Amino acid sequence: MTYKVKFRAWDKSTKKYWNVENWHFEGECLDLIEQGGNIADGDTKHIWRKVSDVVVEQYTGTEDANGKPIYANDFISFDWYEHGDYGLVEWNKNEGRFEVHFGTVNANERDLEYKVEETMPWEEYYDGKPTVVGNCHENPELWGR
């Protein structure tokens, strides 16, 4: 199985997602292009950001039921899940795997506080072909639904 490693970045200042085109580790900077854009196209918007100014999210290597790439911090839904909740996809660095969390959120102006009530390994859920319904930056209200 081939696994494509790619990232997207939530820019804290523009409040939108960008594709990570290049990651410059020495200066800790990211070369970002607008989503759906092509670096070879001169009309594609292009910005530089420090890693500390964005939230970098890794691609899970899988697509949802509609062919949309699934990234960390995406909310996904499953028709078959008994509670009908949306799950939040996150990378567990201690386990070295993606996981799906179910729970509640307390959103304030500065941060989102998640209370995880159930966690399942990604591989247990992916076979059910989830659907991406949003993400934690643009749709925090989906947590716990």
pLDDT confidence of residue 72: 95
pLDDT confidence of residue 43: 73
pLDDT confidence of residue 135: 94
Query: What's the farthest any 2 CA atoms get from each other in the chain?
Result: 48
Domain ranges in the chain are 7-55, 64-142
Is the pTM higher than 0.85? The answer reads no
pLDDT confidence of residue 45: 79
Half-sphere exposure of 102 (CA within 13 A, CB side): 16
pLDDT confidence of residue 113: 61
Helix (H) or strand (E) holding 126: helix 122-126
Which residues does the chain have with pLDDT short of 70?
A: 1-3, 25-26, 37-40, 79-85, 103-115, 125-128, 143-145
- What is the architecture of the domain spanning 64-142? Roll (2.30)
Kindly report the CA angle at 5 between 66 and 124, in degrees rounded to 5? 55
25 Cβ contact list (under 8 Å, min separation 6): none
pLDDT confidence of residue 132: 93
Query: Six-digit token pair at 58?
Result: 């890794």
